[in-house]
Amino acid sequence: MAQFRKNLIDGEWVGDAGSRNINPSDTGDVVGEYASAGVDQARQAIAAAKAAFPAWSRSGPLARHAVLKKASDEIMARKDEIGRNLAREEGKTLAEGIGETIRAAQIFDFFAGETLRLSGEVVPSVRPGVGVEITREAVGVVGIITPWNFPIAIPAWKIAPALAHGNTIVFKPAELVPESAWSIVDILHRAGLPKGVLNLVMGKGSVVGQAMLDSPDVNAISFTGSVGTGKRVAAASVEHMRKFQLEMGGKNPLVVLDDADLAVAVDCALNGAFFSTGQRCTASSRLIVTDAIHDRFVDALKERMDKLVIGDALDAQTQIGPVVDATQLKQDEDYIAIGVREGATLAFGGERLDRKTPGFYLKPALLTGATNAMRSSREEIFGPVASVIRVKDYDEALAVANDTPFGLTSGICTSSLKHATHFKRNSEAGMVMVNLPTAGVDFHVPFGGRKGSSYGPREQGRYAMEFYTTVKTAYTFAG
Ligand code: NAD
Segment 149-167, tens digit of pLDDT: 999 999 999 999 999 999 9
DSSP string, 152-187: THHHHHHHHHHHHTT-EEEEE--TT-HHHHHHHHHH
226 lines ligand 1 (CB under 6 A): yes
- Top mutation candidate among 281, 284, 324, 447 for ligand 1, by most atoms within 8 Å of CB: 281
Q: What is the mean pLDDT of residues 226-255?
A: 98
209 lines ligand 1 (CB under 6 A): yes
C-beta atoms surrounding 364 within 10 Å: 24
Q: Whose CA is nearest to atom 15 of ligand 1?
A: 205
Intrachain domains 4-248+453-477 and 253-434 with the same fold: no
Task: From the CA of 230, give the closest atom in ligand 1.
Answer: 2
> What's the pLDDT at 107?
98
Mean pLDDT score of the chain? 97
Least confident of 2-6, 103-107, 339-343: 2-6
Give SS3 for 479.
coil
> What's the pLDDT at 290?
98
Give SS3 for 201.
coil
Distances from the Cα of 370 to the Cα of 152, 267, 373, 390, angstroms: 35, 21, 8, 8
pTM above 0.95, yes or no: yes
CA of residue 304 to ligand 1 center, whole Å:
31
Task: From the CA of 206, give the closest atom in ligand 1.
Answer: 18
Of 74, 179, 247, 379, the active-site residue reads 247
On whether the CB atoms of residues 215 and 208 are closer than 8 A, the answer is no
For 352-385, write each residue's pLDDT tens digit.
Answer: 999 999 999 999 999 999 999 999 999 999 999 9
pLDDT(478) > 90 = no
Let me know if 12 is a catalytic residue.
no
Task: From the CA of 210, give the closest atom in ligand 1.
Answer: 19
CA of residue 227 to ligand 1 center, whole Å:
8
With b for 16 or more beta-carbon neighbours within 10 A and e for fewer, the 188-222 pattern comes to bbebebeebbbbbbbbebebbbbbbbebebbbbbb
CA separation for the pair 29, 238 (Å, rounded): 42
For 283-342, write each residue's pLDDT tens digit.
Answer: 999 999 999 999 999 999 999 999 999 999 999 999 999 999 999 999 999 999 999 999
* % of the chain exceeding 90 in pLDDT: 98
The residues near 394 (Cβ < 8 Å, ≥ 6 apart) are 255, 257, 290, 419, 422
CA of residue 200 to ligand 1 center, whole Å:
17
Torsion of CA 178, 180, 182, 183, to 10 degrees: 160
For 13-69, write each residue's pLDDT tens digit.
Answer: 999 878 999 999 999 999 999 999 999 999 999 999 999 999 999 999 999 999 999
CA of residue 309 to ligand 1 center, whole Å:
28
pLDDT(1) > 90 = no
In angstroms and rounded to an integer, the radius of gyration of the C-alpha atoms of the chain is 23
CATH assignment, 4-248+453-477: 3.40.605.10
Give SS3 for 101.
helix
Give SS3 for 443.
coil
181 lines ligand 1 (CB under 6 A): no
CA of residue 30 to ligand 1 center, whole Å:
23
In the DSSP assignment, the letter for residue 193 is P
CATH assignment, 253-434: 3.40.309.10
CA separation for the pair 202, 37 (Å, rounded): 6
Domain boundaries, the chain: 4-248+453-477, 253-434
